[in-house]
């Protein structure tokens, strides 16, 4: 007679365990939906999570052709409380997402590309230092305003990839840069930023050297962001140690 209640209790415990195991799945994720025609694979995300585990930062992009970027919001089996993200796709305005309490959030965000106008930068590097190699110039966006948005004192945030262009044999190159100064966030948040230029081996894709612009246009080794540039910007080639 005691077996029937015992069996019932075991079945009930199994059902509860199954429900508990199933319910938290969506609570461990944050989903950013990417509106067409932008591909989710083209959207770069830098994000911070806070919770009982402390502070965790990471970067991600979509891993498939779906129109979503899914981010896990659990660290060491502990749920995150807050979520902040900066999303960027080449040529688009920045999108920021801020959630102070994930437990009351629908855990959904959206990236919709609002194109920025472009500004032409025509540059030149010393042709003699190219050694006849097939070279490219890679441009990255240094997110110096990210710590302020993420509400941290300081921290190294991976730069965003802007574009890559070919260098002619005479050392000249031309690149259409997004007018980041025209981004709606510029005046309130994103004006603390700069552009990083690297010389890249076109065959291997490896960064060879850092490119440094003239002092009046530069912020340290980086180039200041502007809505327009001189007719030709002369870049110096620095040693590879500056790229590390």
CA distances to 12, 127, 173, 185, 207 from 167, in Å: 69, 9, 5, 32, 14
Reported in sequence order, the residue ranges of 89-171 that DSSP labels E, i.e. its strands, are 95-99, 108-111, 118-124, 135-142, 160-166
pLDDT at 4: 53
Instruction: Give the whole-angstrom CA distance, residue 37 versus residue 39.
Output: 6
Instruction: Give the whole-angstrom CA distance, residue 200 versus residue 167.
Output: 10
CATH class of residue range 118-243: mainly beta
Q: What stretch(es) of the chain map to CATH 2.60.40.1120?
A: 25-111
Comparing C-alpha atoms, which of 202, 159, 195, 201 is closest to residue 177?
Answer: 195
pLDDT at 133: 85
One digit per residue, the tens of pLDDT, for the chain of length 244 reads 445 544 444 444 443 343 334 445 556 899 999 999 999 999 999 999 999 888 888 988 887 767 999 999 999 889 999 999 999 999 999 999 999 999 999 999 999 999 999 999 999 999 988 877 899 999 999 999 999 999 887 767 899 999 999 999 999 999 999 999 999 999 999 999 999 999 999 999 999 999 999 999 998 889 999 999 999 999 999 876 544 4
What is the second-level CATH architecture of the domain 25-111?
Sandwich (2.60)
Looking at residue 227, the DSSP 8-state letter turns out to be S
């Amino acid at each position: 007679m005691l077996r029937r209640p015992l069996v019932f209790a075991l079945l009930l415990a199994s059902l509860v365990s199954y429900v508990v195991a199933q319910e938290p799945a969506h609570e461990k994720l944050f989903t950013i939906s990417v509106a067409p025609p932008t591909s989710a694979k083209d959207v770069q995300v830098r994000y911070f999570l806070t919770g009982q585990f402390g502070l965790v930062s990471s970067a991600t992009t979509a891993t498939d052709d779906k129109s979503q970027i899914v981010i896990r919001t659990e660290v060491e089996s502990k749920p995150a409380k807050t979520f902040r993200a900066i999303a960027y796709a080449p040529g688009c305005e920045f999108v920021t997402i801020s959630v102070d309490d994930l437990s009351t959030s629908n855990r959904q965000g959206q990236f919709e590309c609002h194109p920025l106008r472009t500004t032409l930068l025509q540059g030149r590097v010393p042709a003699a230092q190219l050694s006849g190699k097939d070279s490219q110039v890679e441009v990255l966006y240094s997110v110096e305003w990210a710590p302020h948005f993420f509400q941290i004192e300081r921290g190294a945030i991976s730069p965003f990839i802007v574009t890559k262009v070919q260098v002619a044999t005479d050392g000249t190159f031309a690149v259409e840069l997004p007018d980041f100064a025209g981004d709606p966030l510029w005046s309130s948040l994103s004006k603390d930023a700069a552009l990083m230029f690297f010389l890249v081996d076109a065959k291997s894709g490896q960064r060879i050297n850092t490119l440094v612009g003239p002092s009046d246009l530069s912020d340290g080794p980086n180039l200041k962001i502007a809505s327009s540039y001189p007719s030709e910007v002369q870049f110096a080639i620095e040693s590879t140690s500056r790229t590390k």
